[in-house]
Structure 1
Amino acid sequence: MPRIYKKKLGTREYRNYSEATVNEALSQVVDGKLSIRGASEQYNIPYGTIYNRYKGTHMRKPGAQTVFSESEEKAILKSAAKCSDWGYPLTLLDLRFFAKAFLDKKGRVVTKFENNLPGVESAYSLLRRHKDEYSQRVSSNIKKARAKVSHDSINKYFDNLTPVIKDLPPSNIFNYDETNMSDDPGKKQGIYRRGVKYPEKIMNFSKSATTVMMCGSADGVLLPPYVIYKSVHLYDTWKEGGPKGTPCCQKTCCSSGSRFNRTNSGWIDSITFRDWFRTSFLPHAKAFLPHAKV
């Protein structure tokens, strides 16, 4: 992280007003509603600041000047964020090389950058100056096939689903899903626009480890989890413990608690899914829906 300089105890405030306040004070002076002195007293801004702004002198920001202008910084970050819109977010290192390519193309040599490559602190400072618009987020890896699913197809799915479940009680509506919990390629931070709800990175990957099947009804009743190990054999010590009772179903249909199985890959297949359906879901469904045909 970049160094954040702290003022020494007793140091006077150099600036305690916003840019919007300065612009408002200037507009009052330009419109003739206030004198420079009057604007200084009313908005609590130093006389010299308003005077220099009014005359168009000393317009640079206080402190060390940035390598890129504000418009150039916004252009660099906007281009980096565009990559995340496409599903291929840039890392902080990518952003640094992106800035280097910009300097090289312009023919500008920055002596404080080694080989014209901005340092890590420079990249962090760049993001901090524009933190209201851009930030680093940890992305979720999704495959290309999933990325192709459009908003229209999702909306169409729910439009078709709504009339189907309209008169069904919540206890009759179940949702299930399985997830693999290890051997993941990992997540990295990328540059995204501020406010992106689901930061994602498109990449093909494979994982093989322990899988857990979860199922629950719309009224909040959960089935005990169904655990699938990656192994040729299923050992008794692997079947010890596991969630049982609250918050899972406490009826006799689920009294045995979590169930366990194994596959060569650690992923669920047709055989293990059939076993879950017959030994976990059907007994629960019959207990809650005794008159239903299941």
Structure 2
Amino acid sequence: MEKGMPVLKASRIFGVPRQTLRDRVKNVVSIDCVTTGRTPVFTLEEEGYIVNHIKSMANLGYGYTRQEAVDIGTRFAENLGKRKHTDPLTLRWFSGFVSRWPELRVLKPRSLEHLRAKAASPGNIQRYFTELDGIIKKYDLTDKPHLIFNVDEKGISQCHSPPHVVAGREVHPPAVTSGKSSTTTIIGCGSAAGFALPPYFVFQGARMHQDLLNGTSPGSNGCVSETGWSNSSVFRQYLEEHFLRFIPREDRYVLLLLDGHSTHISVGLIEWAKAHKIILFILPAHTSHILQPLDVGCFGPLQKIYNFECHKEMRLTASTISRYNIGSLASKAYTKALSPENLQNAFRKTGIYPFDSSAIDGTILEPSRVFSNDLDVKNSGDNACGPAEDEHTVVHRMTDFLAKKEATLISTKSEKQLKKTERKCLSKLTSGRCITEDEVEQAILNYKKDTSSRNTKNAANKKQDKGPILKEKEEATRVSTLNDSQTAGPSGAAVTHKPWLDDWNSEELDIEIREEEKCCVCKNFTPDAVRQSSVLQFVKWGKCNACGHWVHLRYCSKTIAVRRGAEFKCIHCS
């Protein structure tokens, strides 16, 4: 056709219908169109910009639903002048759009907590790997995977989640479970070499029975707690009685990676670890879903295998899942999930062993972009969806519309972060740090001292700044408890002595009360009528707008109540 060949001759030579060829020559149908039917609203280039924008928003953690994608397409078409506001796109357009782009699919995203999305930033991850690399080299653990361990807790319930089953299409079948139950915690630990310590169970209860460990793996142990969850004393007991029994003792340092839960950090635990040559390294806060080996490669399979074992147990036996057989079922799942292959892959995937600071996939860190305070990151969306604006006016219009949406999201989230003030907390000192190092331990000690003195000072200030109304309530409580002795009444029953019936002295009751907190009329904190009453009463106060003194309402003033914002004056100023 470029050499001037007639359309009819070209259609005969190449076997293309004449009308089809003529429509493309006259640009009635785009040359890029390879399907029959109605011509798409957008060209492939324009649809490419939409695809890139949809994928970018999904990677940031704020993806579009079907209808939202249709709305984006409608506004994009309006921006290009291809549609009017009264003629929007429909879900039928979306179906064709997805069929033309196989890289897109509709799926349910996994939940990601706000704190996890914010904490998993490239800067935090890089600082963590730099710190970890220094510790590994300092203690000569580069080629010693059998001395690198990770410990974590996993909660399981007697009421399991049923696995997928095969059933007929006509019904949605039920799955019988044990019902409401308590939580049992498994403390698991494994090394980069693939060695898994036997499980350690924390049952809910007040007294430990050995029957709870029937059928568990050899070497398994356990204890009880009030809630079934681990705590500081349970974790300390685990390290002393269970962890030390199974780790290699070659008079060499052992690296133990763990999350920054409060039960894992204490001054006493740090001193104990240093005495036993155990290096405690705290993972960065809220990043265990990408940096903790057991969370990344072991506890997910453990939960699925445990659910399968419980489902099988309920079908093959007459018993339900209880605290007496949950240990044996969990041990089977623990042994399969914490296999040597899974442990080695988990440590490799998290970049711990072999050490690799680039092991974390960059797409996992994308949600943290919206919380960045870097202005370059905020404005990076200007050219994120296509070529530079000076190439073509239409191209600029396309890229500008979609890029502004992403830039608006990033600027909104990051501006909110700029307004927040940094809180002083323990995790700021321990996150991504080795707490057995001297400088970190000293920082923790200083934080504990500052927190203790600050709490004491706040309590003293709170007690000193109590207003007259609160003091009135406290005085009533104090007076009612001055004498707890009981005397026999007329019926022979013991009655509590009421000290407010006695003739109390005004100075005795008003002790430790400042002069400005007393009534400016009667010069007492408690009116005489209330003091001499046999019934416990609370006194209302009013503050004079003229002199600023407090007055007893009803007793020392004709006013019974003062509404908020109303004018009130004492008898001296009225």
Q: Which category describes the TM-score, using the shorter chain as reference length?
A: 0.5 to 0.7
User: Which of 229, 252, 270 is the equivalent residue of 2:232?
Assistant: 270
Q: 1:103 to 1:50 in 2, by over 3 A?
A: closer
Instruction: Find the counterpart in structure 2 of residue 172 from structure 1.
Output: 147
Which structure shows the bigger proportion of residues in strand conformation?
1
* Secondary structure in 1 matching 2:105: strand
Moved more, 66-75 or 267-276: 66-75
Matches within 5 A, 1:119-198: 123=94, 125-132=96-103, 134-149=104-119, 150-166=121-137, 167-168=140-141, 169-180=144-155
Structure exhibiting the larger radius of gyration computed from Cα positions: 2
Q: How many residues align?
A: 216
Kindly provide the CA deviation profile for residues 175-205 of structure 1, in whole angstroms up to 9, marking residues without a partner as x. 223334579xxxxxxxxxxxxxxxxxxxxxx
Q: Is the 8 A contact 2:183 2:229 kept in 1?
A: yes
Q: Is the 8 A contact 1:76 1:99 kept in 2?
A: no
Which structure shows the bigger proportion of residues in helix conformation?
2
Q: Which amino acid aligns with 1:118?
A: L
Matches within 5 A, 1:199-278: 209-229=183-203, 238-242=212-216, 244=217, 255-257=218-220, 259-278=221-240
Q: 1:140 to 1:97 in 2, by over 3 A?
A: closer
Q: Which amino acid aligns with 2:16?
A: P
Kindly provide the CA deviation profile for residues 237-261 of structure 1, in whole angstroms up to 9, marking residues without a partner as x. 653334x3xxxxxxxxxx423x344
Q: Is the 8 A contact 1:97 1:117 kept in 2?
A: no
Task: Give the superposition deviation at 1:172.
Answer: 1.1
Task: Give the superposition deviation at 1:270.
Answer: 1.6
Structure 1 Cα separation of the partners of residues 202 and 12 of structure 2: 72
Contiguous gaps of at least 5 residues in structure 2: 79-83, 160-181, 253-275, 278-574
Q: Is the 8 A contact 2:70 2:94 kept in 1?
A: no
Q: 1:68 to 1:170 in 2, by over 3 A?
A: same
Q: CA RMSD in A?
A: 4.4
Q: Is the 8 A contact 1:170 1:217 kept in 2?
A: yes
2:64 is equivalent to residue 86 of structure 1: no
Q: 1:83 to 1:227 in 2, by over 3 A?
A: farther
Structure 1 Cα separation of the partners of residues 225 and 6 of structure 2: 81
Q: Is the 8 A contact 2:202 2:230 kept in 1?
A: yes
Contiguous gaps of at least 5 residues in structure 1: 1-28, 111-115, 184-207, 245-254
* Secondary structure in 1 matching 2:152: strand
2:78 is equivalent to residue 118 of structure 1: no
Task: Give the superposition deviation at 1:153.
Answer: 1.6
Structure 2 Cα separation of the partners of residues 125 and 261 of structure 1: 59
Structure 2 Cα separation of the partners of residues 45 and 274 of structure 1: 81
Matches within 5 A, 1:35-46: 46=16
TM-score normalised by structure 1 residue count: 0.54
Q: Is the 8 A contact 1:179 1:212 kept in 2?
A: yes
Task: Give the superposition deviation at 1:96.
Answer: 1.4
TM-score normalised by structure 2 residue count: 0.31
Q: Which amino acid aligns with 1:291?
A: D
User: Which of 45, 54, 57 is the equivalent residue of 2:28?
Assistant: 57
Structure 2 Cα separation of the partners of residues 173 and 33 of structure 1: 75
Structure 2 Cα separation of the partners of residues 230 and 33 of structure 1: 87
Kindly provide the CA deviation profile for residues 11-62 of structure 1, in whole angstroms up to 9, marking residues without a partner as x. xxxxxxxxxxxxxxxxxx54x49997998899x7735445542332344641
